[in-house]
Amino acid sequence: MANVNIADIADKTVALAEKSGATQAEVYSIRVKIASTYIDDDIPKIGGFLVEFGIGLKYIIGKQIGFTSSTLAQETPEDVVERAKSIARVSNEDLKFVSLPEPKKVSGSPDTYHDNDTAAADSMILMEKAMEVVKGASADNVTIPNGSLRTSSVQYHIRNSLGVDVGSKGTIVFGFFTAKSEDGSGVGEGVQRCWSRELSSIDFNNIGEVLKSQALSVLQAKPFKEKWDDAVGVLAPSEGSEILYGLVAFAANGDNVNKRSSPWTDKVGDVVASESLSIIDNGQSERGLLSAVVDDEGVPTQKTQIIENGVLKSYLFDSYTANQLELSSTGNGIRRIARDLAGRFTTPAVCAATTMEVKPGTKSVDDIIGEIKRGVYIEHFAWPIVDPMSGTFSNEIRNARIIENGELGKPIRYALWVGNLYESLKGDVMVANDPEIHSKRVVPTIAFPNTEIVGQ
């Protein structure tokens, strides 16, 4: 099925579904190409190469919904339609379902977010890039024990029985690398990720140099044995974006709002954060990995202001959640994920963010640190997480330096960063001017107040 026309297959399958008795039907047809390489003890090696095609069919009889998927490698569209029909017939009615989306005017070219050179990159090219990381990290006591680098190109098309007949294309680069340092005092660690839509935009040598610096810095780190209340956590973009996204993407999600499980339910117009914080969900982000002219339901993407100067302005909706409130979708019906595009046809679209962008501030990271009496600058957590219901977090610090009287101090280890993110966001949040892309987020360094640093 490598050369199949994905739009024709979608059109044919919807027609078959309608002919067999579906009151509504939707087909998501997608082709993905993935090339990869990996690093094993400083040596880049050839990874895999995958070309995948598949369709996902939503078959609707009244309010009974059946969903199934197929690569069509060993069955026909007719087989898929019959299976989806049989699933729909035995499914309970979904009383919240109103309708699939109606067609809307789409602006822009489907090729806008697709880079031809990235799509054409093979494992040999990726090995060369991975070798740049190894060379950048080169030192007598530093190695790159493992890493991976992957490029993906995607083309997808959505066709439904109400007239939606659109698609888009894109490319994604994702890399993950670790460094290890050793001396008589112990072992140090460095971790770096890279994300882009264009392979040529990534400075792989610099990634290696940062890895080396991190790993060597950790060797100098001393256990933190105090407890600092009312401390400021200054989080590098990789860590701050992860924890902020974990909270905002949950609280602004239309499905959670409809279920009244979001802490921000009924709070549009209320102050939920510092006036220094403005956040948009941008389905058309210039740097966004999921940027496209339409979402995965065929609804045109858009910029949605979630928070403006601390005030909650809007939630995010796909067609299913929007219809329940008699509102319009914000273009947030999503199947694709930034890390791996394989197999995305096997699940229906759900309400999710596209690219969360935090408006950069005017101050540099050094300027922000200079204003902090006591805190910590964190480059790497073991895993940055937050409970999106309560806002509480307790994250293990792996690579950080204390801040005292406006100056960076010694590296620390064996400490926890603890607090409540909902409460911290309402404090004197400071946003730097250094936005970076990390997965579905374009976020600068952010200083979160009113938190704690807890040592051994």
295 & 383 share domain: yes
Amino acid at 199: L
Q: Which two tokens stand for residue 33?
A: 């190409």
Instruction: Write down how long the chain is.
Output: 456
Map residue 231 onto helix, strand or coil: strand
Tell which of 161, 187, 220 closes a domain: 220
175 contacts 206 by C-beta, under 8 angstroms: no
| 362: in domain | yes
The answer to whether residue 163 sits within a structural domain is yes
Q: How far is CA 387 from CA 210, 251, 266, 428, in A?
A: 30, 11, 20, 21
- Average pLDDT across the chain, whole number: 96
In angstroms, the CA 105 to CA 300 distance is 7
Give the CB-side neighbour count of residue 324, counting CA atoms within 13 A. Answer: 15
- Percentage of residues of the chain with pLDDT beyond 90: 93
Q: Are residues 327 and 286 in the same domain?
A: yes
214 within some domain: yes
Please state the separation of Cα 144 from the chain's center in Å.
25
Do 100 and 240 belong together in one domain?
A: no
- 54-85 confidence digits (pLDDT tens): 999 999 999 999 999 999 999 999 999 999 99
> Which of 296, 295, 314 is closest to 305 using CA atoms?
314
pLDDT tens digit sequence for 278-327: 999 999 999 999 999 999 999 999 999 999 999 999 999 999 999 999 99
For the chain, give the percent of residues with pLDDT over 70. 100
143, 211: one domain = yes
Q: Is the pLDDT of residue 2 over 80?
A: no
Query: Is 207 in the same domain as 269?
Result: no
Domain count across the chain? 2
- pLDDT tier at 336 (50, 70, 90 boundaries)? very high
Q: Do 302 and 247 share a domain, yes or no?
A: yes
* 34: containing domain: 6-220
Gap between the Cα atoms of 38 and 146, Å rounded: 7
Same structural domain for residues 323 and 180?
A: no
Q: Tens of pLDDT along 153-168?
A: 999 999 999 999 999 9
Furthest CA-CA distance within the chain: 74
Give the global pTM. 0.94
Summarised one tens digit per residue, pLDDT across range 368-407 is: 999 999 999 999 999 899 999 999 999 999 999 999 999 9
Same domain, 213 and 229: no
Residue 193 confidence (pLDDT): 94
Residues 169 and 196 in one domain: yes
pLDDT confidence band for 44 (50 / 70 / 90): very high
58 within a domain of the structure (yes/no): yes
pLDDT one-digit tens code per residue, 180-202: 998 877 888 999 999 999 999 99
Same domain for 202 and 264?
no
Smallest CA-to-CA distance from 237 within 416, 431, 446, 450 is with: 446
- In CATH, what number is assigned to the domain containing residue 125? 3.30.2290.10
1 within some domain: no
pLDDT digits over 322-332, tens only? 999 999 999 99
Given 220, 255, 281, which residue is the final one in a domain?
220
Q: Residue 249 falls within a domain, yes or no?
A: yes
Residue 400: half-sphere exposure toward Cβ, Cα within 13 Å = 29
Residues 393 and 414 in one domain: yes
Question: Among the three residues 191, 220, 249, which one is the final residue of a domain in this structure?
Answer: 220
Whether residues 64 and 182 share a domain: the answer is: yes
